[in-house]
Structure 1
Amino acid sequence: MSDRDKPGAERDKPGAERDKPGGGEPASASADAPAKVLGREPLRPPLIKRFYTLAEVTADDGPPHRVLLDGRPVRTPKKQLLAMPSRDLAEAVAAEWAAQGVEINPASMPLTRMVNTTLDGVLGNEDALRDDIAAFAMSDLLCYRAEGPSDLVARQAEAWGPVIAWAEAALGCRFVLGAGLMPVAQPEPNQGKVLAALARYDAFRLTPLHVMTTLTGSALLALATAERALTVDAAWAAAHVDEDFQIGQWGEDEEAITRRARRYAEMSAAARLLALVG
């Protein structure tokens, strides 16, 4: 359940599309793709060369706060100004651009990617993300418990029970727990109560919250992290109780280790974005 792929979890990577360095404003991260040769398509788009010297934030008090590359404002893949409500966030995004080497690697710019997603896809569509997060809460990972073995049952109860208790108190909900894989119907009022709690989350807060929800398979873990009832590490560990139990039984492979590390980095970046927005 932790691998459910909802829209927005790992999409809208910072594009690699930009204008030529000699004119116009730099777009947030893509270059013109080379001509494709049938059967010889590259596995991933080539990285573009760094075309700027200085990455900084506009000097005005703001908000919004914009990132500048050699004095020119950066734009998103959809040509929106890369503008943020928090100077702390803008400084962190500028630091990602400043840290690039000879080439610009979007994979090393998680904050930039999430800001791009917010500006290009979430603004004006906030209710869609709220609905999706609420839908996760109605079939949340934490409500599905193992029937056995007893060690796994105990681990789930220890890691998930306090989060359920927090969510019931914070949201005013009652969550029904079930054993096995059969669907568990949650009380219908829960959805409205979760949506009410999400009403105060604007686009810049909904994006990282949605990322954390899809990475963990749990709206409750994401909300507890956003509300600082859980640390990122505690939420991540809780989301992987089942997986860690299986690893203890059978071991793990290198591919799984690499994938999990990449997803943890995204989770940490999402929590950091929330903290930077304030």
Structure 2
Amino acid sequence: MYLITRLKYIQRFTNNVQKKALSKYYFSTYSQQAQASEDNKTAAPNLERFWKASTVESCDEGFKVKIDTRYLKTTKGTPLIFSKNQEICAALVAAEWESQKKTISAHSLPLTSIVFRSVDGMSTQDERTKITNDLIKYFKTDTILFQNDYPEKLVDLQAKCWAPIIDWANEKFQVQINVFTSLFNTVQNKNAVDKLLEYSNGFSPLKLAALVEGRISVEEAAKAARIEAISQSKYWGSFENAHEMDEALLTRDLGAISCSLIES
């Protein structure tokens, strides 16, 4: 559900959330300044790893992630507490911090970013309603609903990767989502918009932050999000390492989304 919308939403918030979270924890602990990249003064700074170990500890409410002697907090300073059925998610967040090397980039904690966002920006129903009202606007112009009738390879990928998702949504919500091959007269079915909005308004904070329904696998989602690049590479070839790196990063981020909702 909302495949391309979900990717846009994640990409829009991930950099700022992770950079602020890391910077706040880093500065409050050691009062040091992060240095901007020498190659690009406007790039997000890389921070040096400042902890020795990250672990999970149980508490009355559930579980906490501990960074050395301090418990992990969100960007706004809210103590991060996982419920009793989120032990796996807590362990994965701890593992994400433990896996960091000498320096940490702004993109290296995707699961932490999702969890932070669910606590800091989606804890109240009013906040979640505002977000879903904004997100539904993207649904009306979602890339998956604007399809080409050429070249043949792209048309084939659309049929294999996109059509099953749309068919599933139509059946699940008993609607008819309009698909367009032109940028003109693109009015979306109001019933579909209303039902998707109503459904997403019932999401928990974490599910809304992840914005995932679980209809397809991580690998299938990564392929569906890249069909235009895949199609073009068949004609023009691919840049060595570049396309593989893009796919790996996308798969990693989608994997983090999927892992955020694992319950034990």
- Tell me the TM-score normalised to structure 1 length: 0.76
Instruction: Look up the equivalent residue of 1:58 and give its one-letter code.
Output: E
CA contact (8 A) 1:68 1:74 kept: yes
1: CA distance between counterparts of 2:55 and 2:132? 33
Q: Cα distance 1:130–1:160, how it changes in 2: closer, same or farther (>3 A)?
A: same
Q: Cα distance 1:91–1:193, how it changes in 2: closer, same or farther (>3 A)?
A: same
2: CA distance between counterparts of 1:46 and 1:141? 33
Counting helix residues as a fraction of each chain, which structure ranks higher?
A: 2
RMSD: 3.1
Match for residue 61 of structure 2? 62
Match for residue 141 of structure 2? 139
CA contact (8 A) 1:67 1:94 kept: yes
Match for residue 265 of structure 1? 252
- For residues 91-240 of structure 1, what are the structure 2 equivalents within 5 Å? 91-105=91-105, 107-124=107-124, 125-182=127-184, 184-209=186-211, 222=212, 226=213, 228-240=214-226
CA contact (8 A) 1:50 1:100 kept: no
Instruction: Look up the equivalent residue of 1:247 and give its one-letter code.
Output: S
Q: CA deviation at 1:246?
A: 0.9
1: CA distance between counterparts of 2:40 and 2:163? 51
Q: Could you report, residue by residue, the CA deviation over 1:190-231 in whole angstroms, capped at 9, with x for unpaired residues?
A: 22200222133111111111xxxxxxxxxxxx5xxx2x3211
1: CA distance between counterparts of 2:16 and 2:40? 24
Q: Could you report, residue by residue, the CA deviation over 1:10-55 in whole angstroms, capped at 9, with x for unpaired residues?
A: 44114222266xxx8x5xxx9643588xx9947442413423x342
2: CA distance between counterparts of 1:273 and 1:114? 7
2: CA distance between counterparts of 1:9 and 1:133? 16
CA contact (8 A) 2:170 2:177 kept: yes
Q: What stretches of structure 1 of length at least 5 have no aligned partner?
A: 210-221
Q: CA deviation at 1:186?
A: 0.9
CA contact (8 A) 1:152 1:242 kept: yes
CA contact (8 A) 1:204 1:277 kept: no
Q: 1:8 aligned to 10, 13, 18, which one?
A: 13
Instruction: Look up the equivalent residue of 1:122 and give its one-letter code.
Output: M
Q: CA deviation at 1:105?
A: 4.9
User: SS at 1:145's partner residue?
Assistant: coil
Q: CA deviation at 1:66?
A: 1.7
Q: Could you report, residue by residue, the CA deviation over 1:215-270 in whole angstroms, capped at 9, with x for unpaired residues?
A: xxxxxxx5xxx2x3211111221222222111101112244443343222111211
Instruction: Look up the equivalent residue of 2:236 and give its one-letter code.
Output: W
Instruction: Look up the equivalent residue of 1:109 and give its one-letter code.
Output: L
Q: Could you report, residue by residue, the CA deviation over 1:114-157 in whole angstroms, capped at 9, with x for unpaired residues?
A: 22222222323212332233223222322212122334323312
1: CA distance between counterparts of 2:151 and 2:80? 50
CA contact (8 A) 1:18 1:31 kept: no
Q: Which range moves more in the overlay, 152-161 or 84-93?
A: 152-161
CA contact (8 A) 1:137 1:194 kept: no
User: SS at 2:64's partner residue?
Assistant: strand
Instruction: Look up the equivalent residue of 1:119 and give its one-letter code.
Output: V
Matched-pair identity in %: 21
Match for residue 229 of structure 2? 243
User: SS at 1:80's partner residue?
Assistant: coil
Instruction: Look up the equivalent residue of 2:79 and give its one-letter code.
Output: L
Q: Cα distance 1:11–1:192, how it changes in 2: closer, same or farther (>3 A)?
A: farther
2: CA distance between counterparts of 1:35 and 1:111? 24
User: SS at 1:8's partner residue?
Assistant: helix
